[in-house]
């Protein structure tokens, strides 16, 4: 049903309006259903994170083992000539500026410069679907804490050094405004598969969509297609605003800026710090599901004190685990997680967020170390917990189901694996749509597991011997090395 009604995702389905207590917002002008695209917003400008400049193509944002440097500035890196040609429009002036400055500045300055070059060349409106100009976006400079303002001033100062003398000169005010806008509206740009954040970009329409902790829409990045040699056929990087369920005409469209897995107090604090508003959504006001997220196990006679004690212990262990993870000491990560999980068992509920975090890491790292049987146990527990907490069409839930499905497949549990992959596919069809690379991957997996399941039911012995052969070729590898939490926050956190 989600892909059936084909219409151009133009601007006839949304309009800007004054949202009570929130400033400008967007609302639906007609009824939409789960998976419908309300708008596709092309990227105004985007850059790769400083930490990943040598690992990600500066044009298509794919992670690559081998990249080719730009011969002029020696900074920008590309998959091949095709990507380099496609990226030249955005890189041309940057290239000359890096050469004369002697080095590439930080990601904030690079993004601000790309925005300024584009503004100078094309003005503030670059597509017929754009609902706002960059001038009209909030910069929240007056709300920023002293420390952040200091950083911003340093960036502005360095920007002025980097900006070519021969180019159109800008006032400190106008540059500060752009930095302010980037600070609260810089959108996380993920790699091709949507599994890891690799850069930051600005999408003007998205800045108009207000927040709700239990939103009716989701945002997905589509990196476009850069595989054809002729760049004329490339589709551009864009985000899509997709409905998570039925939305009536006149209803405000919302997305969540923070992960719902956090407690309401923590979400409110994050929103206040990063976006300068007090969340008054129903889920924060009623503290919906907070009790589940901190609950004790449903076992007779677990005293509250014990739950509290194990919760505090978990916080300490999560810190230790993060440090081991940053050092890529995966055996240590497993050791810490196992110790913690043992203490949590029968004390914390299966929806307790610290237990879910431990299961999540344990499942991912064990899978990386190829202990698939054990990894599958934790992946399954995690899905069971997530289902009770997240919206049924939450992208994070879909991705978790997908990983769990693959892990079960790797462990040889074909029936559970196939079932999870099918469930994941149903969610991602709504959140990502049928043409997204990850949905296509998932469809291929679904077809493969379905075929294997038929074989398994006909003759288990033949199935297992064929499976051994298949595993030697490892056709289905999902995750490489465990990366820090996938793309959960919508906008880049400071």
Asked whether residue 5 carries a pLDDT value surpassing 50, the answer given is no
Non-local (6+) Cβ contacts of 283 within 8 A are 212, 213, 214, 260, 264, 289
Please give the average per-residue pLDDT across 22-31, as a whole number: 95
Confidence of residue 2 (pLDDT cuts 50, 70, 90): very low
What is the length of the chain? 494
Which of 491, 27, 35, 21 minimizes the C-alpha distance to 259?
491
Check pLDDT > 50 for residue 480.
Answer: no
Share of the chain above pLDDT 90, in %: 79
DSSP-assigned letters across all residues of 193-261: TSSSEEEEEE-GGGGGSEE-SS-SEEEEEE-----SSSGGGPPPPEEEEEESS-B-TTPBPEE-SS-TT
Domains assigned to the chain = 11-261 (2.170.270.10), 282-473 (1.25.40.10)
Mind listing the pLDDT tens digit for each residue in 432-478?
999 898 999 999 999 999 999 999 999 888 888 877 777 776 544 44
pLDDT at 217 exceeding the cut of 50: yes
DSSP string for residues in 26-47: EEESS-B-TT-EEEEEE-SEEE
The per-residue pLDDT for 247 is 98
How high is the pLDDT of residue 8? 42
**DSSP labels, 313-371:** HHHHHHHHHHHHHHTT-HHHHHHHHHHHHHHHTTTB-TT-HHHHHHHHHHHHHHHHTT-
Q: Give me the chain's average pLDDT, please.
A: 90
Q: What is the mean pLDDT of residues 373-387?
A: 97
- pLDDT, one tens digit per residue, over 241-286 is 999 999 999 999 999 999 999 999 999 999 999 999 999 999 999 9
CA dihedral of residues 364, 368, 370, 375 (deg, nearest 10): 0
Task: Yes or no: say if 252 and 19 are a contact pair by the CB < 8 Å rule.
Answer: yes
- Say which residue, 104 or 125, is predicted with more confidence: 104
Q: What is the predicted pLDDT for the residue at 322?
A: 94
Report pLDDT for 465: 80
**What whole-number distance in Å separates Cα of residue 375 and Cα of residue 380?**
9
Residue with the two structure tokens 């017929």: 128
Q: What pLDDT does residue 306 have?
A: 95
Lowest-confidence range among 143-152, 216-225, 391-400? 216-225
Over residues 344-367, mean pLDDT: 96
Which residue reads 């540059």 in tokens?
175
Predicted confidence (pLDDT) at residue 129 exceeds the cutoff of 50: yes
Give the pLDDT confidence score for residue 479 in this predicted structure: 46
pLDDT category at 224 given cuts 50, 70, 90 is confident
DSSP H or E stretch at residue 189: strand 187-190
pLDDT at 204 over 90: yes
> What stretch of H or E contains 377?
helix 372-389
Nearest in space to 398 (alpha carbons), one of 421, 378, 414, 419: 421
Structure tokens given for 54: 């040598």
């Amino acid at each position: 049903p989600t892909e059936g009604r084909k219409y151009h995702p133009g601007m006839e389905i949304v309009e800007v309006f004054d949202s009570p207590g929130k400033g400008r917002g967007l609302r639906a002008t007609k009824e939409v259903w789960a998976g419908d695209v309300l708008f596709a917003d092309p990227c105004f400008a985007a850059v790769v994170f400083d930490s990943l400049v040598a690992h990600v193509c500066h044009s298509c944002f794919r992670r690559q083992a081998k990249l080719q440097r730009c011969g002029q500035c020696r900074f920008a890196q590309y998959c091949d000539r095709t990507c380099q040609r496609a990226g030249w429009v955005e890189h041309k002036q940057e290239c000359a500026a890096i050469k004369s400055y002697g080095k590439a500045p930080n990601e904030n300055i690079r993004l601000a410069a790309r925005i300024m070059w584009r503004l100078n060349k094309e003005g503030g409106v670059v597509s017929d679907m754009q609902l706002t100009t960059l001038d009209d976006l909030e910069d929240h400079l007056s709300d920023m804490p002293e420390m952040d303002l200091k950083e911003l001033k340093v960036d502005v100062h360095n920007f002025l050094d980097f900006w070519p003398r021969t180019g159109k000169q800008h006032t400190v005010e106008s540059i500060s405004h752009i930095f302010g806008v980037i600070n609260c509206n810089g959108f996380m740009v993920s790699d091709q598969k949507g599994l890891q954040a690799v850069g930051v970009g600005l999408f003007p329409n998205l800045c108009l969509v207000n927040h709700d902790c239990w939103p009716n829409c989701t945002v997905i990045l589509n990196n476009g297609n850069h595989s054809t040699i002729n760049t004329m056929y490339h589709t551009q990087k864009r985000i899509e605003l997709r409905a998570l369920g039925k939305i009536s005409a006149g209803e405000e469209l919302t997305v969540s800026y923070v992960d719902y897995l956090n407690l309401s107090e923590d979400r409110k604090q994050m929103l206040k710090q990063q976006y300068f508003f007090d969340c008054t959504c129903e889920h924060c006001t009623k503290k919906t599901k907070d009790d589940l997220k901190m609950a004790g196990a449903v076992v007779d006679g677990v005293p509250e004190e014990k739950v509290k004690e194990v919760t505090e212990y978990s916080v300490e262990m999560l810190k230790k685990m993060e440090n081991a993870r940053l050092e890529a000491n995966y055996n240590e990560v497993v050791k810490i997680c196992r110790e913690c999980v043992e203490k949590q068992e029968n004390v914390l509920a299966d929806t307790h967020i610290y237990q879910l975090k431990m299961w999540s890491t344990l499942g991912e790292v064990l899978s990386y170390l190829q202990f698939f049987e054990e990894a599958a146990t934790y992946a399954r527990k995690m899905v069971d917990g997530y289902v009770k907490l997240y919206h049924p069409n939450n992208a994070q839930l879909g991705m978790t189901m997908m990983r769990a499905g693959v892990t079960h497949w790797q462990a040889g549990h074909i029936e559970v694996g196939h079932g999870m992959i099918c469930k994941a596919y149903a969610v991602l069809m709504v959140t990502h749509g049928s043409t997204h690379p990850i949905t296509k991957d998932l469809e291929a997996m679904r077809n493969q597991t379905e075929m294997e399941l038929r074989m398994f039911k006909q003759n288990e012995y033949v199935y297992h011997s064929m499976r051994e052969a298949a595993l030697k070729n490892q056709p289905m590898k999902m995750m490489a090395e465990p990366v820090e939490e996938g793309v959960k926050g919508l906008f880049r956190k400071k």
